Amino acid sequence: MEFWIARNKDGSLTLFENEPYYNDIDGFWYDVFEIPVADDLQSALFSEVTLGNSPMKIELKLVN
């Protein structure tokens, strides 16, 4: 499964099913449906994801 992850201006992380767009007014990322997969990810996760390189496509794989 492919998702998009983005870091908001406040440092929080959000995971999306669709490629999100950035809202300069509030500093948050949104997708066209405005329903994130997860909007409460720990901000310490994925330190390589920054506001400057967001959004990034990620792949989620289940491994036995």
- The reported pTM is 0.86
- Report pLDDT digits (tens) over 12-52: 999 999 999 999 999 999 998 877 787 778 888 899 999 99
Pull the structure tokens for residue 8: 């908001």
Q: What pLDDT score was predicted for residue 43? A: 86
Between the two ends of the chain, the Cα-to-Cα distance in Å is 16
Q: What pLDDT score was predicted for residue 34? A: 76
Q: What pLDDT score was predicted for residue 59? A: 95
DSSP sequence for 8-31: -TTS-EEEESS--EEETTTTEEE-
Q: What pLDDT score was predicted for residue 47? A: 93
- Asked whether the beta carbons of 31 and 38 are under 8 A apart, the reply is no
